[in-house]
Structures are given as structure tokens and as C-alpha cells.
């Protein structure tokens, strides 16, 4: 029996036809995994000069999810390289950080990894809409001459289906100082040593990306890759899968200096260490925060 279900479906006009955004938010709040399914015609989305109008079904994993103001859902692809269908990879090795919102608005930030020279400065930039792609509409563009160009857009897919895997159980919640709010450290310990998967929901991690001092409440969810249990001091430390931080908004968008990428080391005493990759220089630095965190197991 599949653990996956469809919490929300939008039509081509991005109107809700099944489920509800509240259902999606409820699942993400419980730590659910997210995949988004879309449909498009090959000669409308891939090669507009082709005579092939074959319908293509795409389902993509959004390994980092956000819940903003406890109501708005967004997801980011964190492991994708450019793909040139149906051949293979697209030009210029880069991370393709696609971002989808619950209302069907989309964005992409590229982190180029081929060492190409980039001399531009961050700021607004133009976006060239692909010729003949009538369902694609660019909203704005940023940092076009840098190592990390981004833009916000809408592609009017034939459908948008937000699939969730609601398999996670919350076993511990603590505040930024590590004080337990619900659940218990023992429940997390028992699940971890039994080999169960662990996921975290970290609050306030993107506060420093806020614009003009406006900070929106938000929670970032990501699975951990490795964990370390200190048995005498009752401390659990977890290394996360890759994350992309994005300035919280409704909808979430990319903008100059409004996003970055990296990894987390999270402690049950509230300490969060973020190994941040600067999108413009690819230089790394470590930043330490105190964050309320929820721990889930599956």
C-alpha cells in the first residue's frame, strides 16, 4: 500500500480543482515529504520547433520544504542538474534549484559549478523568454551576469499535483535553548538506534535573509543523512541533506542576496551550525544559530 496521496491539484489556470492548500500545509507541518507532478507537451515546453506534441508526465522531488506563517507551502529541488530532454544533461554543470509554490508560481536559481568567469554584479537582470513557448511567462530576473542567476516565472502546466508522503512521526520538539516542548529525547534516541529515518523542522533559519527588517515566521524541513548520539550527555547531533535557504515570503521568490545553499549540523540543545556556500563566490563559511527544532522519525 502506498504512503503517497495527492493533497492539492491545480488546473492549467492554477485554480484548485481537488484538495486544498490547507490540506497541503497540514501534511507539511507533520513533516510529510513532497513531490510535485506536472504535465506538458514536448513541443510546447522542451523543443518548440519540434512536431512532436507527445504528452510528458513529470514528477519531481522537493527535498526541502517550507511552511511560512504556518499556512503557506513551498518546496525546493536541491539535487538537480540541468536536463536536456530526451538526450541527457543540459549545458553548463550547475545546481538547478527549482522552487515551486502552492499556487503554481515557480522560480529557478542556478549555482554554476564549472568555474566559468563571472564578473557581473548582483541586481535586476533581463530574462529572455524562449521563442514560441507561449505557456511560459517570466516575472523578473536577478543576477544574470553572476555565478548564480535566478528568475521567477510561471509555466502553465496542464496540471499541478502536490503529492505528499505523510509517514513521519514527531517525537521531540524543543525551543532554541533546547528546552523540551513536547515529546522526549528518549523517544528520539530509541527510534534512532532502531535505524529509523530522521527528519527535522527548523524554525527561523532564514531570518537573516529578511528584507527591510520584515521577518516572517517559517519552518524549514529536511531529512538528515547521519546522526550521532552522545549517550552520557543525552545529546543528539545530526548532519542534514543539502538545503537551500530562501527569504520567507508568500509566495517565496528568488532575488539578489535572498537565497543561499549549504548543509546543517543540528543539535538537540538548540544549536544549529550552517555551512553556507556564497552563491556568488562559491566560498564557504560556518554560521551558528539557536533555533527551535522539531524532530520526526519514519
Asked whether residue 16 falls in the same domain as residue 154, the answer is yes
Asked whether residue 55 falls in the same domain as residue 31, the answer is yes
What value does the mean pLDDT take over residues 108-116? Answer: 90
Asked whether residue 172 falls in the same domain as residue 59, the answer is no
Asked whether residue 135 falls in the same domain as residue 207, the answer is no
pLDDT at 210 over 80: yes
What are the φ/ψ torsions at residue 104 (nearest 5 degrees)?
A: 85, -5
User: Could you tell me the pLDDT band of residue 93, with boundaries at 50, 70 and 90?
Assistant: very high
Asked whether residue 159 falls in the same domain as residue 205, the answer is no
Domain ranges, residue 112: 4-163
Long-range contacts (CB closer than 8 Å, 24 or more residues apart) made by 231-238: 234/185, 234/189, 234/268, 235/267, 235/268, 235/269, 236/185, 236/188, 236/189, 236/192, 236/267, 236/268, 236/295, 237/265, 237/266, 237/267, 237/268, 238/198, 238/200, 238/264, 238/265, 238/266, 238/267
214 DSSP assignment = B
Asked whether residue 192 falls in the same domain as residue 156, the answer is no
Asked whether residue 155 falls in the same domain as residue 172, the answer is no
Asked whether residue 8 falls in the same domain as residue 142, the answer is yes
Asked whether residue 182 falls in the same domain as residue 199, the answer is yes
pLDDT at 2 over 80: no
Domain count, the chain: 2
Q: Select from 144, 163, 182 the last residue of a domain.
A: 163
pLDDT at 1 over 60: no
Does pTM top 0.85 for this prediction?
Answer: yes
Asked whether residue 105 falls in the same domain as residue 201, the answer is no
CA angle 176, 287, 211 (to 5 degrees): 80
Q: Select from 129, 163, 197 the last residue of a domain.
A: 163
The C-alpha cell 564549472 sits at 114
| pLDDT at site 228 | 98
Mean confidence (pLDDT) of the chain: 96
Could you report the per-residue pLDDT of 49-76, keeping only the tens digit for each?
999 999 999 999 999 999 999 999 999 9
* CA dist., res. 19 & res. 99, Å (int): 21
Could you report the per-residue pLDDT of 119-142, keeping only the tens digit for each?
789 999 999 888 999 999 999 999
Asked whether residue 173 falls in the same domain as residue 194, the answer is yes
User: Could you tell me the pLDDT band of residue 117, with boundaries at 50, 70 and 90?
Assistant: low
pLDDT at 250 over 60: yes
Amino acid at each position: 500500500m502506498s504512503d503517497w496521496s495527492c493533497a492539492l491539484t491545480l488546473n492549467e489556470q492554477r485554480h484548485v480543482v481537488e484538495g486544498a492548500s490547507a490540506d497541503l500545509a497540514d501534511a507539511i507541518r507533520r513533516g510529510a515529504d513532497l513531490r510535485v507532478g506536472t504535465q506538458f507537451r514536448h513541443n510546447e515546453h522542451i523543443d518548440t520547433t519540434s512536431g512532436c506534441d507527445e504528452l510528458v508526465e513529470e514528477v519531481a522531488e522537493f527535498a526541502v520544504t517550507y511552511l511560512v506563517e504556518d499556512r503557506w507551502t513551498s518546496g525546493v529541488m536541491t539535487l538537480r542538474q540541468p536536463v536536456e530532454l530526451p538526450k541527457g544533461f543540459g549545458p553548463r554543470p550547475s545546481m538547478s534549484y527549482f522552487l515551486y509554490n502552492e499556487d503554481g508560481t515557480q522560480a529557478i536559481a542556478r549555482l554554476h559549478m564549472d568555474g566559468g568567469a563571472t564578473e557581473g554584479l548582483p541586481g535586476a537582470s533581463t530574462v529572455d523568454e524562449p521563442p514560441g513557448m507561449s505557456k511560459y511567462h517570466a516575472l523578473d530576473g536577478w543576477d544574470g551576469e553572476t555565478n548564480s542567476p535566478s528568475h521567477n516565472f510561471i509555466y502553465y502546466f496542464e496540471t499541478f499535483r502536490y503529492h505528499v508522503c505523510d509517514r513521519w512521526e514527531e517525537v521531540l520538539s524543543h525551543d532554541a535553548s533546547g528546552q523540551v516542548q513536547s515529546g522526549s529525547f528518549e523517544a528520539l534516541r530509541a527510534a534512532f538506534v532502531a535505524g529509523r529515518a530522521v527528519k527535522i523542522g527548523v524554525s527561523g533559519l532564514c531570518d537573516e535573509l529578511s528584507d527591510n527588517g520584515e521577518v516572517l515566521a517559517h519552518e524549514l524541513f529536511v531529512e538528515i543523512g547521519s546522526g550521532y548520539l552522545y549517550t552520557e550527555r543525552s545529546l543528539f547531533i545530526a548532519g542534514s541533506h543539502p538545503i537551500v535557504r530562501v527569504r520567507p515570503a508568500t509566495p517565496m521568490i528568488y532575488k539578489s542576496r535572498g537565497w543561499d545553499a549549504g548543509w546543517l549540523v543540528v543539535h538537540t540543545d538548540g544549536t544549529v551550525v550552517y555551512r553556507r556556500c556564497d552563491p556568488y563566490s562559491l566560498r564557504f563559511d560556518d554560521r551558528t544559530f539557536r533555533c527551535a527544532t522539531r524532530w520526526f522519525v519514519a
